[in-house]
Amino acid sequence: MEPIETLADDLLTLHGRIRRTVLAGKADEVTASQTAALGRLLRHGESTVADLARAEGVRPQSMGATVQALVDLELVERRPDPADGRRTLVRATETGSRARADAWTNRSRVLTERLAALPEDDRATVARALAILLPLTDD
């Protein structure tokens, strides 16, 4: 059996390769960090920039730039926090929701085509591996 460190390295390498594969045909202008922030807003609802930064593990200044780019693309909007006028909340727009769904569909299509080329037994193994790996994630 391989050492755990090697397994972790191999898993990170595979993650990067899968990511590059599904992003190769990307047609929009949204960066990976913008996609992550938009996805988090869609999954968890509106948030402050500071909370988004904490959740994504980046500095608030970096997240502020990411959010501003998303605002400029009309994928998210800012609004005053009704409970605390000093704070601003960020939420996904309908345009952002549609853009995220379209991007997801395109990436899923790429993986669907690749998975369809595998033998059925290998697809079953991939499904089993996903069930095993899912608890390793926080989100």
Task: State pTM to two decimals.
Answer: 0.76
- C-alpha span between 136 and 11 (Å, rounded): 12
- What's residue 25's pLDDT? 67
Pick the CATH number of 4-136 from 1.10.287.3510, 2.60.120.380, 1.10.10.10, 3.40.50.12280: 1.10.10.10
pLDDT (tens, 9 = 90+) of the chain, 139 residues, equals 789 999 999 999 999 999 888 887 676 788 888 989 999 999 999 999 999 999 999 999 999 999 999 999 999 999 999 988 889 999 999 999 999 998 888 889 989 999 999 999 999 999 999 999 999 987 6
Cβ count near 96 (within 10 Å): 23
Q: Show me where the domains of the chain are located.
A: 4-136
- C-alpha span between 38 and 56 (Å, rounded): 11
Tokens 């009704």 belong to 82
